[in-house]
Amino acid sequence: MQAAKGEAGGFVSDEARAKFLVAYDRAFTLWPRPWEELDVGTKVTTTHVHRYGPADGEPVVLLHGAGFNGSMWYPNVAALGREHPVFAIDTPGDPNRSVARAPIASPEASAAWLDEVLAGLGIDRAHLVGASYGGWIALNQALRAPGRVASITLLDPAGLAPLDARFWWWFSVRGLAALAPRALRRYLASWLDEPTLAEHEIIALMWAGTRTYRMEPKFPGVLTDDELRRIRVPALLLTGRRSALISPREARARASLMPDAQAEVVTGSRHGPSLEQTDPVNARITGFIAAAADQARR
> What's the confidence (pLDDT) of residue 72?
94
Q: Are 79 and 286 in contact (CB under 8 A)?
A: yes
Mean pLDDT of the chain: 88
Distance CA 240, CA 153 (A): 14
* Angle between helix 182-191 and helix 165-178 axes, rounded to 10 deg: 150
Residues in the chain, overall count: 298
> What's the confidence (pLDDT) of residue 220?
85
Q: Give residue-wise pLDDT tens across range 164-203.
A: 656 655 555 555 555 556 666 565 556 556 666 556 677 7
Span 56-83, average pLDDT: 95
Distance CA 69, CA 224 (A): 28
Distance CA 6, CA 282 (A): 37
Domains of the chain: 10-297 (3.40.50.1820)
> What's the confidence (pLDDT) of residue 181?
63
Residues 6 or more apart in contact with residue 16 via CB below 8 angstroms: 211, 212, 213
Q: Are 17 and 230 in contact (CB under 8 A)?
A: no
- pTM of the full structure: 0.91
Q: What is the DSSP string of 53-104?
A: S-SSS--EEEEPPTT--GGGGTTTHHHHTTTS-EEEE--TTSSSS-EESS--
| Secondary structure class of 251 (helix, strand, coil) | helix
Distance CA 73, CA 16 (A): 24
Tell me the CA distances in angstroms from 152 to 31, 84, 256, 265, 294, one per residue in order: 23, 15, 15, 16, 15
Q: Are 123 and 98 in contact (CB under 8 A)?
A: no
> What's the confidence (pLDDT) of residue 285?
97
Burial of 15 (0-12, 13-18, 19+ CB in 10 A): exposed
Whether pLDDT at 158 is above 80: yes
